[in-house]
Structure 1
Amino acid sequence: MPTFEPKALRQVFSQFPTGVTVITTRNAEGAPIGMTASSFNSVSVDPALILWSIDKGAYSLEAFKDCDYFAVNILSDQQIALSNRFAGRGEDKFHGFEYTNGLGDSPLLPEALAQLQCKNWSIYEGGDHLIMVGEVIDYKITENERPLVFSQGSYAQASPHYDSLNNSLDANQMETIGQREFLDDHLLYLLRAAYNQLSEVFYQRLNTATGVSPDMWRIYACLADGQPLSLDVLEGFVMQPRDALLDTLASIGSNIHFDNETVQLTDKGMQIAQKLLMIEKEYKQEVSNRVDDNSYAEMKRTLRKLF
C-alpha cells in the first residue's frame, strides 16, 4: 500500500472544491456538539440519504457515533466566522451562541444556507475516518444566499463563471439576441472578468519568480511590516481555516518564526516578502499604464465605495 506525506495529500484533495458545513448533535450528557466539515455529500434521493466523514481522533467522535439524530448546517458565504468557530478542538463552541433545536435537540444554526435534519442511518469504516450516513427527515433552505466554498486551502465564493455565457453561444448568436451588449454593460460580469484575468497573470508571476502560491503570498504580504500577528488575526486576513493555515505556514518553513501563538517573518522571510511586494508594485504599475493616472486613481476610489 502506498504511503503519502499527509500535508501534500491534503493539498491534492483541496484541489476539488467543496461546500462547508457544521454538523451538530447532542452528546450522552445532553450538551450541544458541533464541528466544521467539508466532507458532506449526497448519496440517494429515494431514500433520502447523505454522508459525511469524521476523524477517528475527533473530540466529538463518540457523540456522533452514539447519537440518534444529527443536523447538517450548510453555511453561506457570510459565515466564515461560524466555520472557524466550529473548526476548533475541544472547547465549548456554543458558549454565548444562540441557536434553535431540531430533531433529537440537534442545534440548528441561525442563517445557514440550508439545513438537513437527519436520523443516524449507518456508520462505515473509512481508514482514519468513520463514514456517517444519515437519512434526511426534514430540511430547510434560505433563498437568495450563496454557499461558502473551500477550495485550494482557502475559503472562496461560488458565482456563475464569467465565461459561461460566452461559451454557450457563438459570436453571431450573441450579437443577434443582444447578449454581448448585456455582458459589456453588466457590472458584476466586468468585475469578475477583470479579477480573473488580472489575478491569473499576477499569481503566475509570483510563482515563477519565487515559487510562492496565492496562499503563501497573502501570508507574506500580511507579515511584510516585520511585526508578529496572532494566528486568529492572520486566519481572518488570509481567508483560511486553521488547519489549512497551519499547512501553508509549514510550506513556508524556515522563513517564518511560529510559536503556536504568533507568526513573524525571519530575516530571510522579510527579504522574500520585499521581493514579492516589488513584483506586486511593478504589476500595479503595468495595470495603471493601461489607463491614464486620473482614471486609475478614480477607479480605485470608486471600487472602495462599493464595499
Structure 2
Amino acid sequence: MTSPVRDADIDPKAFRRALGNFATGVTIITAQGADGEKVGVTASSFNSLSMDPPLILWSSMKTARSCEIFESATHFAVNILASDQMDMSNHFARQQMDKFAGVEWEAGIGGAPLFPNCAGRFQCEAYDRLDGGDHWIYVGRVVAFDDLGRSPLCFHQGSYSMVFNHPGAPKKPAPEMAKSPHADRMGNHKFFLMIRAIQGYQDRYQPKLHALDINLIEARALLVMNTTVGLDADQMLVQLNAPMVEVNEALLNLENCGMIAQSGNGYILTETGAQKADQCWELAEAHADESFSQFSDEQLETFTTILRHLI
C-alpha cells in the first residue's frame, strides 16, 4: 500500500495526473460582455451545486483573458457537448481571433451563445464569483435549460472517451412487450466492441506509464515525434485524440522537461526525449506482448490485417 502524498510534497504534474482519474464531461462555457463581445471556452470543471435554488458552478484560470468578459456578463451558458462534438471542444480550446466565425449558434438569455446538437444546455444568471486559489469559481443560477438526451463527450486521463453501460451494473429486466429482437445489437456490434477493447487495453497500460513519470498523452506525443519529425500542435492533435488544451499542455510539459524543442513551426525530439521515446516503445511493446500472448501468430496477423484495412 502506497503512502499518501502530503501538501509539502505535492508535485503539480503528479497531482494533475492523479486528478485525471476522475472522468468528466466536456462543456463550452459562453457569455456576452457588456460591449457585445462574445467569449467561449472549453471546460471540464462544470458541476452541479444546489437544487434550491438551482445553482451550478465552473472554474477558470485567473490569468485567462476571457475572465474579464465573464465578470461583466449578466448571464452565461453551459453547453454540454455530445460525443460527436470533439471538433467543437478542440476549436474553442484554441486561442484565435474569432472563435465563433463559421460556427452555428443562437443567442440565449443575456446574449450567451447556445450551440445545437449538444447533450444539454444550461442558461444561467451570474450569481457569485469565489476565490479558488489560481482559479475563479463562477456560480450561476439556472434560469432555463434544455435536456437534449444525447450521449455526452467524456474526458479521462488525457483522452476523449464515451459513455457505456458497465457490464457489472444490475440489469433491470425489460417488460416482455418492450423487449427488442435487437437487444444484443450493441454488445455484438464491432464498433462498440472495438471501443470497449481500447478502453480496457488503455486502463491496463496507464498505470505502467507512471514508472516513466509521464502521462498517456505525453507518451503518445513522444511516440508520434519519434516516427514523424516537425509536426505542429494542430498536426499532433490528429494523432493524439485529445483536446487541444491537453495537447498544448503536454507539449509545454515535454518542452520544459527538455524532451522536445521547437523547430520551425513544429517540434522535434531532443536526445533526452529520444531516450524517453525508446523507453515508451519498450513499454508499449511489452504491454502488447502481454495483452496478446493468448493468441496465435495467425490470429494476430489476421487482426493486424483487419485493422490496417479499416484505417
State the distance in 1 between where 2:134 and 2:290 align. Answer: 49
| Unaligned residue ranges in structure 1 (runs of 5+) | 170-180
In terms of mean alpha carbon deviation, does 99-108 or 261-270 score higher?
261-270
Find the counterpart in structure 2 of residue 228 from structure 1.
230
Q: CA deviation at 1:40?
A: 0.9
Match of 1:97 among 83, 103, 123: 103
Which amino acid letter does the alignment assign opposite residue 237 of structure 1?
Q
Q: TM-score, normalised by structure 1?
A: 0.79
Q: CA deviation at 1:271?
A: 4.0
State the distance in 1 between where 2:284 and 2:11 align. Answer: 32
State the distance in 2 between where 1:228 and 1:291 align. Answer: 37
Q: CA deviation at 1:261?
A: 4.3
Distance 1:218 1:133, change over 3 A: same
The SS at the match of 2:246 is helix
TM-superposition CA deviations, 1:56-105 (whole Å, max 9, x none):
22212122112112111011122222112222346321122221111122
Query: Does the Cα contact within 8 Å between 2:94 and 2:245 map onto a contact in 1?
Result: no
Find the counterpart in structure 1 of residue 41 from structure 2.
35
The SS at the match of 1:72 is strand
Find the counterpart in structure 2 of residue 115 from structure 1.
121
The SS at the match of 2:31 is strand
State the distance in 1 between where 2:204 and 2:49 align. Answer: 39
State the distance in 2 between where 1:49 and 1:38 align. Answer: 17
The aligned runs of 1:130-209 (5 Å cut-off) are 130-143=136-149, 145-164=150-169, 191=194, 194-203=197-206
Which amino acid letter does the alignment assign opposite residue 243 of structure 2?
P
Q: Does 1:47 align with 2:49?
A: no
Distance 1:28 1:2, change over 3 A: farther
| Unaligned residue ranges in structure 2 (runs of 5+) | 1-6, 173-183
TM-superposition CA deviations, 1:17-56 (whole Å, max 9, x none):
2211111111122122111121111112222211112322
Query: Does the Cα contact within 8 Å between 1:223 and 1:265 map onto a contact in 2?
Result: yes
Which amino acid letter does the alignment assign opposite residue 273 of structure 2?
G
Identity of aligned residues (%): 32
Query: Does the Cα contact within 8 Å between 2:31 and 2:113 map onto a contact in 1?
Result: yes
Q: TM-score, normalised by structure 2?
A: 0.78
Which amino acid letter does the alignment assign opposite residue 256 of structure 1?
I
The SS at the match of 1:51 is strand
Distance 1:193 1:68, change over 3 A: closer
Distance 1:68 1:288, change over 3 A: closer
Find the counterpart in structure 1 of residue 258 from structure 2.
254
Find the counterpart in structure 2 of residue 269 from structure 1.
273
Find the counterpart in structure 1 of residue 4 from structure 2.
none
Find the counterpart in structure 1 of residue 179 from structure 2.
none
Query: Does the Cα contact within 8 Å between 1:226 and 1:265 map onto a contact in 2?
Result: no
State the distance in 1 between where 2:260 and 2:292 align. Answer: 33
Q: CA deviation at 1:189?
A: 7.2
Find the counterpart in structure 1 of residue 247 from structure 2.
245
State the distance in 1 between where 2:32 and 2:187 align. Answer: 52
Distance 1:35 1:267, change over 3 A: same
The two structures, once aligned, show a CA RMSD in angstroms of 3.4
Match of 1:218 among 203, 213, 220: 220
Distance 1:3 1:51, change over 3 A: farther
State the distance in 2 between where 1:265 and 1:230 align. Answer: 13
Find the counterpart in structure 2 of residue 23 from structure 1.
29
Q: CA deviation at 1:230?
A: 0.1
Number of equivalent positions: 292
Distance 1:303 1:50, change over 3 A: same
State the distance in 1 between where 2:13 and 2:291 align. Answer: 36
State the distance in 2 between where 1:142 and 1:76 align. Answer: 9
Q: Does 1:128 align with 2:155?
A: no
State the distance in 2 between where 1:3 and 1:279 align. Answer: 28
Q: CA deviation at 1:119?
A: 1.4
